[in-house]
């Protein structure tokens, strides 16, 4: 779904494109774009639909088609794209593992702070909910350990 999103985004950002043809070997994923129910690809769907909304609002004659081309058909263009895609070397913007760990910790700290504020402001605090004090009458604070939160 992400690859379809990138392709549609690139095509819709060009001014001289009026027809888009998405050729995919997973047409079931492409069908999910137009599925309004909740599903794991919904974030991708929303971004694709936003791009398509702008695309169609530029000109009523703009169009998009989805073609299914299973990889077992050995279509030469499918093979070329497959080879090129697998040969793509991603250059990370922040290749350092430490910066990834920092971003993850920062995200978890933000969640932890939100939890603390919610617990302190909660009317249900102490009423069949969560005792915020440990055995020594110290406040229990969520903390981040690699892999998840601990109380």
Total domains in the fold of the chain: 2
Enumerate residues 6+ apart whose C-beta is below 8 A from 150: 142, 143, 144
Q: Which of 87, 113, 128 is the last residue of a domain?
A: 87
Q: Using one digit for the tens of pLDDT, what is the confidence trace for 126-145?
A: 555 555 677 787 777 666 56
Q: What is the mean pLDDT of residues 116-134?
A: 65
Considering the domain architecture, whether residues 74 and 127 belong to the same structural domain is answered as no
Considering the domain architecture, whether residues 103 and 37 belong to the same structural domain is answered as no
Considering the domain architecture, whether residues 36 and 106 belong to the same structural domain is answered as no
**Residue ranges making up the domain that contains 139:** 97-150
Question: Is residue 24 a part of any domain in this protein?
Answer: yes
pTM, rounded to two decimals: 0.49
Question: Is residue 92 a part of any domain in this protein?
Answer: no
CA distances in angstroms from 10 to 3, 4, 29, 109, 133, listed in the order given = 11, 10, 19, 35, 54
């Amino acid at each position: 779904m992400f690859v379809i999103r990138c392709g549609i985004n690139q095509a819709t950002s060009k001014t001289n494109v009026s027809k888009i043809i998405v050729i995919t070997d997973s047409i079931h994923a492409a069908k999910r774009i137009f599925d309004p129910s909740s599903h794991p690809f919904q974030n991708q769907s929303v971004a694709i639909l936003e791009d398509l909304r702008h695309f169609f609002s530029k000109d009523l004659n703009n169009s998009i088609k989805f073609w299914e081309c299973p990889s077992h058909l050995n279509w030469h263009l499918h093979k070329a794209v497959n080879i090129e895609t697998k040969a793509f070397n991603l250059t990370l913007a922040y290749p350092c593992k430490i910066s990834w760990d920092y971003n993850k910790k920062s995200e978890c700290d933000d969640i932890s702070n939100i939890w603390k504020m919610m617990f302190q402001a909660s009317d249900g605090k102490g009423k069949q909910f969560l005792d915020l004090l440990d055995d020594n009458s110290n406040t229990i604070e969520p903390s981040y350990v690699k892999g998840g939160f601990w109380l």
